[in-house]
Amino acid sequence: MQNLLRTFLAFTCVAALPLSAAKPKSTRAAAAPASSGPRDIGTVYVDPADAISINITGSPGLVNIAAIAFNSHGKFRRVASNGAYEFRFTDAGPNVVRVDVIKAGQAVLSQNVSGSSERNALFRAADVAVKASSGLNGYFASKLAFVSERSGQGRSEIFVSDLFLGEARQITHDNAHAMTPRWSPDGTKLLYTSFFKSGFPDIFQIDLSSLQRTSFVSLKGTNTGARYSPTGGQVAMVLSGEGNPEIYVSNAQGRQISRRTRTEGVESSPCFSPDGTRIVYASEPGPQLYIMSVGGGSPRRITSGVSRYCAEPDWSRGDPNKIAFTEREGRGYQIAVVDLSTGLAKTVSRAPLDAIEPSWLPDGRHLVYTARSAGSRRLCILDTETGKSTTLGSVAAEKASVWAP
């Protein structure tokens, strides 16, 4: 009887949840311009008027990597020479990169930056250059956890990589459908949902150093959407063991599980506020987005009048007033951001195909999202202020989660 119940709830949960679980076929793909060759889906090129012009010099290999990074940043525009700033990146030893920030021929900053590899050191050094020239926090040294079928087994597995899909490694070998990986605050563990072993959606935790997988929550019904609080002391998740998919909160070990919502709709995608006191989530009908206290209580709807479909919220750590989410626009989907200080929301992506599954980068301006067509998935970086979108490589990937050092 329990297996029959889990089968029924697994079907209904996947059918009812937002895009992170159920992917309706895109109608935007049919309207996209025909192409005789490969192209980066979802890429939008924007040259903002207030962009800072930069020229990048130094060791050739480092220059090439730095160019990839800065091409994704909406605040900078690369020029061949005579930029407002020169960023010089040179080898300074094993896994050490020297960065010189030069303005009008004068050094603004010179610093040696170390990393876990030369590539990582370069991204960290580039973040230093961003801060020195613009005052903005950098995001290049961030890491991704994402879902891909690149293992060739026909099953989606979890991978981690740097922000630009370099140094990627496969983390799970479940040979079962995996989804929604989420980083622990210290970057040492992941929570994810998998159909491993039981054939039903359960929540697992995996240690990234040992790759040891442990069952986190495996109850009757569906167990999905687990996400750490900012301190790592609590985990929010969606469980349906009591009948309806509702929001629950546990401790860091998946114990002391307590129910937080009681509705007739389907709840999904819980995400803690940066201070850990509130949770934003999606709920039917619609769905729409709601905020409630981490202890439960009456929720407050935050997407009135935005769209009849708002899902997959992600609360920005870099700007606590911003929550990004997926909205239905026309016959497709785009990324929108609601500003809690004003209550206003706006569409920030201009993808020619579906833009879904946003995950904020640490600067509170850029985010990573999935660009989706009928037969393809790619990860992209979006500048939410200009709409500039940059495709991250050619690897088929989706459902990214960002971790920043």
Instruction: Give pLDDT tens digits for 194-227.
Output: 988 878 899 999 999 999 999 999 999 899 999 9
> In degrees to the nearest 10, what's the CA dihedral of 188, 190, 191, 192?
-170
How far apart CA 320 and CA 50 sit, in angstroms, is 24
How far apart CA 379 and CA 371 sit, in angstroms, is 6
Residues 6+ away with beta carbon under 8 Å from 21: 13, 14, 179, 224, 268
Give me the phi and psi of 15, to 5 degrees please.
Answer: -70, -30
For strands 96-103 and 354-360, give the pairing. Answer: unpaired
**How is 178-247 classified by DSSP, letter by letter?**
EEEEEE-TTSSEEEEEE-TTTSS-EEEEEETTT--EEEEE--SS-EEEEEE-TTSSEEEEEE-TTSS-EE
What tens-digit pLDDT sequence spans the chain (405 residues)?
A: 444 334 434 433 433 334 333 333 333 333 333 333 344 566 676 666 789 999 999 999 999 999 999 999 999 999 999 999 999 999 999 999 999 999 999 999 999 999 999 999 999 999 999 999 999 999 999 999 999 986 556 689 999 999 999 999 999 998 888 999 999 999 999 999 998 887 889 999 999 999 999 999 999 989 999 999 999 999 999 999 888 999 999 999 999 999 999 998 899 999 999 999 999 999 998 999 999 999 999 999 999 777 789 999 999 999 999 999 999 988 899 999 999 999 999 999 998 889 999 999 999 999 999 999 888 899 999 999 999 999 998 889 999 999 999
Q: What is the pLDDT of residue 305?
A: 73
DSSP assigned state of 44 = B
Q: What is the pLDDT of residue 358?
A: 98
DSSP assigned state of 3 = H
CB 366 within 8 A of CB 139: yes
pTM of the model: 0.88
CB 244 within 8 A of CB 261: no
How far apart CA 126 and CA 142 sit, in angstroms, is 12
**pLDDT tens digits for 135-164?**
999 999 999 999 998 655 668 999 999 999
Nearest to 390 by CA among 17, 15, 69: 69
Peptide bond preceding 287 in cis form (omega within 30 of 0) = yes
Buried b (16+ CB within 10 A) or exposed e, 116-139: eebbbbbbbbbbbbbebbbebebb
Q: In Å, what is the CA distance from 403 to each residue of 161, 211, 218, 393, 400?
A: 10, 18, 26, 19, 10
Nearest to 224 by CA among 175, 179, 185: 179
Q: What is the pLDDT of residue 9?
A: 40
Give SS3 for 354: strand
Distance of CA 205 to the CA centre of its chain: 18
Q: What is the pLDDT of residue 198?
A: 79
Q: In Å, what is the CA distance from 161 to each residue of 135, 241, 380, 389?
A: 27, 34, 14, 20
Q: Which residue reads 């039917």 in tokens?
A: 284
CB 148 within 8 A of CB 396: yes
Q: What is the pLDDT of residue 121?
A: 98
Q: What is the pLDDT of residue 149?
A: 87
- CA 100, 104, 105 angle in degrees (round to 5)? 55
